[in-house]
Amino acid sequence: MPRHNRYDSHTGKYAKDNGPYGLVNREWAINVDQTAKHILFSGQVQGVGFRYTARHIAGRYNITGFVRNLPDGDVEMLAQGPDQDIDNCIKEIQDYFAGQIRDTQIEPVPCNSRYTDFRVTF
């Protein structure tokens, strides 16, 4: 089956076909410029509005993923998008919660097209 360029209504650009069904929207295709990072924030990060502030900050950047509380008192975040956007988002969160964050662990992870927005999960 020949592949053709398809119009991606999310980006407003033509994109190469990513499969036999020509699916190129954000729900099915991962941009090659994207990276993903798994972040753990520890300290006094629960009960201070951390997740909702992180969601608000992430909304300023081209980032998908989630943020959630963990049973051990840490906050977990998965951020996908351009590397610089992720780094800027993390830095802004760290600056905002400088008095609450004791440690931040960041590790690269594979991108997952399942995440099409950034949200607070439980």
Amino acid letter, 42: S
51 annotated active-site: yes
Q: Which of 51, 55, 88, 114 is catalytic?
A: 51
6 annotated active-site: no
Helix axes 83-96, 50-58, angle to 10 degrees: 140
- Contact (CB, 8 A) for 51 and 57: no
CB atoms within 10 A of CB 37: 20
Q: Which of 25, 69, 88, 119 is catalytic?
A: 69
Contacts of 46 (CB under 8 A, 6+ apart): 69, 73, 75
Provide the annotated active-site residues.
Answer: 51, 69
